[in-house]
Amino acid sequence: MSLAAAAAATATVAHAATTAAGATVAHTATTAAGATTTAADTHGFLSPTGVEIAFLLVGLVTLGAAIVSVTTRQLVHAALWLVVALGGLAVEYLLLTAEFIAWVQVLIYVGSVVVLLLFGLMLTRAPIGRSPDADSGNRWVALTVAVASAAALVWVVVDAFRTTWIDLDGAAAGSTEVTGKALFQNWVLPFEALSVLLLAALVGAIVLSRKAKANPPAVVTSAANEPADNETPASGTAASGPAASGTADPEKEGAR
Amino acid sequence: MHLAYPAVLSALLFSTGLYGVLARRNAILVLMSVELMLNAVNLNLVAFDVWLSRAAEETLHSGQALTLFTIAIAAAEIGIGLAIVLAVYRNRGTSDIDKLRDTAEGHETDGRGTDGSDSEAPAAQKAEATA
C-alpha cells in the first residue's frame, strides 16, 4: 500500500521533472536558434549599416571633443568642448532610439550643468587665456592608467559582445510614452525619493554658498567688541557675509 | 546595430574621463571629467536597455529609468560640488586641488602639526553650524 503510493509519487515527480526539463530545453533551443539565425542572416560581422556608420561618426566627434576637453589648457574652452561631447552623446541616444533620454540630456547637461560649470569657472576667476598649470605633474601616470583601463575595458567588452546585435527596428524603445509608462508604473518610489534628494541637494548647495568668510572676521569682531559672546559675532558675520560676496550668490542661484 | 559600438564608445569615454580626473589640477575641470565618466555609464545603460528590451522582452526599462536617475543625481552632484569648490575658493583663494592638502580651515593652522589640524576640524564644523 505504502509502497504503491511511494511509487506513484516517484512517478509523478519524475514526470514533472521530465516536463520541466523538456520545456526548458525546448525553450533554450528555440531561443538559441532564433538568436543564431538573427545573427547569421540579417547581420554580417563587419558590414556596417547606415545607423552604425552614423553612430561611428558621431562617436568619433564625441570622443574627440571629450579628449580635447580633458587636455586643453584653456579652461573655458574645456567647458565648451564638453558641450560638444554631451551633445554628441545626445545624438547617440537618438540613434539608439532613446528619444526621451536624449532630450533630457540636452536639457539637463547642455542646458544647466555646463552653464553651472561656466559660472563656477567665472566665480573662481579662472584665467581666460592659456593657463600653463592646468595639468598636474602626474599626467603621464594618469595617461598610463587611462590607456590601460581603456585597453582592458575595450578588450573585455568586444570579447564579450562580439555576436550581439541591438534590434533597432520597429517602435522606439525609449520614446516618451514608453519611458513614461515604465517610470510611473514601476519606478514611482525611486522617483519620489529622488525628488527628496534633489531638495536636499538644493538646500545643501544654498547653505554651502551662503557661508562666506566665516572665521577671520568673526575672530576679529569678537576680539574687538565682545570677547565673552561667541554666537552674536558669528551671526553678524553671516548676515554681512553675503553682502561681501553679493555678486556671487544671486547669479549662482539664478543659474540653478 | 552591433552592441560593441556603444559599449566601446562608452569604455573610451570613461577612460577619457578617468584621465581627466587624474591629470587635471583645477577642481572644476575634475568635476567636468567626472561628468564625462557619468555620461559614459549612461550610454552603456541606454544601449543595454535598448538591447534587452527586445532580446529579453524586458519591459521594466530599468536601464532608462536608472539613466534618468543618474542624470538627476549628477545634476545634484554638480551643484553641491560647485558650492564646495566655491567655498574652498573663498577660504583659500585657490581651486587648485594640489594645494589643498590639509583638511583644516584657515592658513594659520599649517604650522601646528597633525593633531592641531585634527582638533581644528570640529571647530570648523561648529562654525559652519552656527553660521
Domain count within chain B? 1
Point out the residue among A96, A167, A218 whose CB comes nearest to the CB of B47: A96
The CATH number of the domain where B78 resides is what?
1.10.287.3510
| Domain assignment present for B131 | no
What ipTM did this prediction achieve? 0.78
DSSP-assigned letters across all residues of B64-94: HHHHHHHHHHHHHHHHHHHHHHHHHHHHHS-
Is pLDDT of A57 > 80?
Answer: yes
Please give the residue of chain B at the shortest CA–CA distance from A176: B64
State the average pLDDT over residues B82-99: 86
Top pLDDT among B84 and B126 is at B84
A147 interface with B at CB cutoff 8 Å: yes
Domain ranges, residue B52:
4-100
Measured distance CA(B124)–CA(B87) in Å, rounded:
13
Q: How confident is the model at residue B82 (pLDDT cuts 50, 70, 90)?
A: very high
Q: Write the secondary structure of chain B as one string of H (helix), E (strand) and C (coil).
A: CECHHHHHHHHHHHHHHHHHHHHECEHHHHHHHHHHHHHHHHHHHHHHHHHHHHHCCCCCCHHHHHHHHHHHHHHHHHHHHHHHHHHHHHHHCCCECCCCCCCCCCCCCHHHCHHHHHHHHHHHHHHHHHC
Is pLDDT of A8 > 50?
Answer: no
Top pLDDT among B41 and A2 is at B41
| Domain assignment present for B10 | yes
Is pLDDT of B64 > 70?
Answer: yes
| Domain assignment present for B38 | yes
Alpha-carbon distances, residue B44 vs B1, B6, B21 (angstroms): 14, 7, 20
Q: Indicate the pTM of the whole model.
A: 0.71
A55 interface with B at CB cutoff 8 Å: yes
Task: Enumerate the residues of chain B whose CB falls inside 8 A of the CB of residue A121.
Answer: 28
pLDDT at B108: 52
A94 interface with B at CB cutoff 8 Å: no
| Domain assignment present for B127 | no
Range of lowest pLDDT (A252-256, B73-77, B83-87)? A252-256
Is pLDDT of A117 > 50?
Answer: yes
Residues in chain B, total: 131
Contact B14, B87 (CB under 8 A): no
Model confidence pLDDT, tens digit, residues A150-208: 999 999 999 999 888 888 887 888 888 989 988 999 999 999 999 999 999 999 998 98
State the average pLDDT over residues B105-125: 46
Q: How confident is the model at residue A33 (pLDDT cuts 50, 70, 90)?
A: very low
Task: Enumerate the residues of chain B whose CB falls inside 8 A of the CB of residue A173.
Answer: 49-50, 53-54, 61
Is pLDDT of A17 > 80?
Answer: no
| Domain assignment present for B43 | yes
Task: Enumerate the residues of chain B whose CB falls inside 8 A of the CB of residue A177.
Answer: none
Q: How confident is the model at residue A46 (pLDDT cuts 50, 70, 90)?
A: low
* B131 Cα to chain A: minimum distance (Å): 6
| Domain assignment present for B116 | no
| Domain assignment present for B124 | no
* B79 contacts A201? CB cut-off 8 A: yes
